[in-house]
Structure 1
């Protein structure tokens, strides 16, 4: 069923100063389930669940229906077998995996999943921390990534160093930020990969919670197909319990030169990460920023981190200002089961049709190990289409 919504101005939002750019408070759209993409990830053997799901076009062009294949990266991943709707013994969870999708359509015969295997041929995590800062028990959850066409077509993927702890609500905490560098044209298991510690993790202080960059990437270059390219790669971060969004930018050729990165302080681009301003809040730890045909930018996220709605804010530029939250989709999974929660919505421009945005969000359970046998397909991405009018 289509849901038609038109949002009008909020009195507290500042009007646009450039009359040529449409309002940041109003959007005409419909939303529908993308059942074809949903079904791609309903699987009964091998990979049967995962979160994260960032999508990276191998050719580096991130516009609707461009490219011929896609790298899909997952964080925690479930592997095993489901028969007649029943989860079979011997399933396992690993901390990250990838898939490669050939073509632009969600066809099961065109997607293949990859991870490592241990000495007993059981599934094992694909990317394990091995930077100088990594602890023995640390593991990676994966952030956004892109193909850097300047200069070598390497794939860059952010990786969050996670450590299990007993004094946190969810039993883990992020302790560092790393960058995975996969050589051009390489394929799993990426034996030639490089891993770099980055300075893009913000430890918690007395006023804010911790923060980290890599929640989303917008490549605003001609090579990536951006409609108004300025030549920079914009990297978004999220910090604190308010899920405050920050943004940095850097030229593609300088991506590994962390001293060349600049952070938006609300007025200008500055070298000090501690001066990064909040450009939006109530976001999620994974998100996306996508240019629209009318000159605005769509920030897509899960409202309030694990709220029930997929949210959108309209922006005047990749760094804002951004308008109010527009709730474009109420996720039905949280009404179907009181133990389920939804999180980390984002758009996938190059897998979208012209005039639309394909959007995913993740589903999990507060009582995961109890719910999984009863609902073995719960832990997989869900998809919707935002159709712009």
Structure 2
């Protein structure tokens, strides 16, 4: 059973939160024999048109694992790999042979350069995967002696997934935005999200380009310039002032856009923002999860959403675990992704079941334009004013229930004419916590969460 928490401080409103929890099924499926893959990072996924999912990984260990989680001798490491999932069946994909494996996405010079995958999509009979190109560089930090060398698109035949060739993302040479964090196909346009680092502090911020659906391959993109869309890639500007990790995601839910990122500098904190449009403005910053693995030399990074696996109002999120390289051979769990379930209701009040659009209790006039149920203030202390509309005369029942569904307050209103109504409810006798207001009329039932706090 999920646990429900309230968290907050004296300086901010309390936020409702159903606890995020590990997804045991997903964690287990990457801990069984799937044809060679035993550990990796990155953990992108592309939902293919035929219902399969292609998982994409960065540096990958191939081999076998002992019962004590140590890696058997003879394991090999490649720079990128893939796992194809069909139902609950998973199979490892890589180049070369099982005895002499090579990268799933090869470069022309594999001895000195390599690709780490990003997101992608299928257009016509071709799978296009955005990739970041890297080369070795002496930076004086073990495990981080590499530097960025380009931004390409790798092409594969579809549905056979055979490598064809790779070529540059032309806009990257102009604006230095690394494209491919997320490729979001919307109703008319496909949005290609990327990141560009502040040259002074090396802090990445999100950018976005767009193309008409089905035309990403042409690279005749438009770029968000702060007020609209321009064909000039040099005019691209950041879409958010909050820094993003080297892997972040943008997805949609109930008509809103969700940006999810792990905080930078290997922070254990996973945040989300929501927006009404693919470019923002981004608000509702939420701390969704703090990874428990972070300790000593172990760190986590690059959380990512996999919307094709939404379930029961919850999103599937992965994050990567890493640490001392040689310790991984003794414990492969130090380099395996983790999967968690996060309820969408933790991200935005608009995602609460049957809630009115947006966060209730915003400052300003609480009058609902469409006569939907609203509450002011919310969060509340002793009293709350409910506003709603009815479309025909009759009796309206107003109830306040707790999270177990137990009725705590009820009243009835006789309405002789349709229109807007306002009711003030006395909540002094109720303990701080989460409640639900239910307004039932001939037109149906409206439900809105109420948060009672002890703060004034």
SS of equivalent to 1:38? helix
Q: Is the 8 A contact 2:192 2:208 kept in 1?
A: yes
- 1:84 is aligned, of 67, 73, 80, to 67
1:349 deviates by 0.7
Aligned equivalent of 1:18: none
Number of residue pairs matched by the alignment: 335
State how far apart, in whole Å, the 2-side matches of 1:26 and 1:146 are: 36
Structure (1 or 2) with the greater strand fraction: 2
Q: Is the 8 A contact 1:42 1:377 kept in 2?
A: no
1:261 deviates by 0.7
State how far apart, in whole Å, the 1-side matches of 2:29 and 2:210 are: 34
State how far apart, in whole Å, the 2-side matches of 1:246 and 1:26 are: 29
Work out which of the two has the higher radius of gyration on C-alpha atoms and give 1 or 2: 2
Residue segments in structure 2 that go unaligned for 5+ positions in a row: 345-351, 353-456
Residue segments in structure 1 that go unaligned for 5+ positions in a row: 13-24, 60-66, 205-209, 221-228
Aligned equivalent of 2:150: 176
When residues 81 and 51 of structure 1 are mapped into structure 2, their CA distance, relative to the original with a 3 A threshold, is same
When residues 9 and 360 of structure 1 are mapped into structure 2, their CA distance, relative to the original with a 3 A threshold, is same
State how far apart, in whole Å, the 2-side matches of 1:127 and 1:73 are: 10
| 1:46 correspondence with 2:36 | yes
When residues 382 and 142 of structure 1 are mapped into structure 2, their CA distance, relative to the original with a 3 A threshold, is same
Aligned equivalent of 1:223: none
When residues 2 and 171 of structure 1 are mapped into structure 2, their CA distance, relative to the original with a 3 A threshold, is farther
When residues 73 and 6 of structure 1 are mapped into structure 2, their CA distance, relative to the original with a 3 A threshold, is same
1:211 deviates by 4.0
Aligned equivalent of 1:96: 80
1:154 deviates by 2.1
SS of equivalent to 2:74? coil
Alignment of 1:128-207 (within 5 A): 128-130=106-108, 137-148=112-123, 152-167=124-139, 169=141, 170-187=144-161, 190-191=162-163, 193-201=164-172
Aligned equivalent of 2:314: 356
Aligned equivalent of 1:252: 213
Q: Is the 8 A contact 2:174 2:234 kept in 1?
A: no
State how far apart, in whole Å, the 1-side matches of 2:9 and 2:191 are: 28
State how far apart, in whole Å, the 2-side matches of 1:10 and 1:219 are: 41
Q: What is the root-mean-square deviation of aligned Cα atoms in Å?
A: 2.7
Q: Is the 8 A contact 1:147 1:155 kept in 2?
A: yes
| 1:297 correspondence with 2:228 | no
SS of equivalent to 2:328? helix
- 2:221 is aligned, of 251, 256, 261, to 261
Aligned equivalent of 1:112: 91
Aligned equivalent of 1:207: none
When residues 320 and 10 of structure 1 are mapped into structure 2, their CA distance, relative to the original with a 3 A threshold, is farther
Q: Is the 8 A contact 2:174 2:233 kept in 1?
A: no
- What do residues 316-340 of structure 1 show as CA deviations (whole Å, max 9, x unaligned)? 2111111153110000010xx3111
Q: Is the 8 A contact 1:244 1:282 kept in 2?
A: yes
State how far apart, in whole Å, the 2-side matches of 1:234 and 1:29 are: 31
- 2:21 is aligned, of 14, 32, 51, to 32
When residues 38 and 10 of structure 1 are mapped into structure 2, their CA distance, relative to the original with a 3 A threshold, is farther
- TM-score by length of structure 1 reads 0.79
When residues 251 and 378 of structure 1 are mapped into structure 2, their CA distance, relative to the original with a 3 A threshold, is same
When residues 173 and 324 of structure 1 are mapped into structure 2, their CA distance, relative to the original with a 3 A threshold, is farther
- TM-score by length of structure 2 reads 0.68
| 1:125 correspondence with 2:103 | yes
| 1:238 correspondence with 2:195 | yes
Q: Is the 8 A contact 1:3 1:32 kept in 2?
A: no
State how far apart, in whole Å, the 2-side matches of 1:4 and 1:147 are: 40
State how far apart, in whole Å, the 1-side matches of 2:233 and 2:9 are: 33
- 1:321 is aligned, of 260, 266, 281, to 281
| 1:284 correspondence with 2:256 | no
- 2:331 is aligned, of 369, 372, 375, to 375
State how far apart, in whole Å, the 2-side matches of 1:349 and 1:10 are: 35
When residues 306 and 211 of structure 1 are mapped into structure 2, their CA distance, relative to the original with a 3 A threshold, is farther
Q: Which has the higher contact order (CA 8 A, sep 6+)?
A: 1
| 1:68 correspondence with 2:51 | yes
Q: Is the 8 A contact 1:202 1:212 kept in 2?
A: no
State how far apart, in whole Å, the 2-side matches of 1:360 and 1:218 are: 18
State how far apart, in whole Å, the 2-side matches of 1:217 and 1:26 are: 30
When residues 11 and 239 of structure 1 are mapped into structure 2, their CA distance, relative to the original with a 3 A threshold, is farther
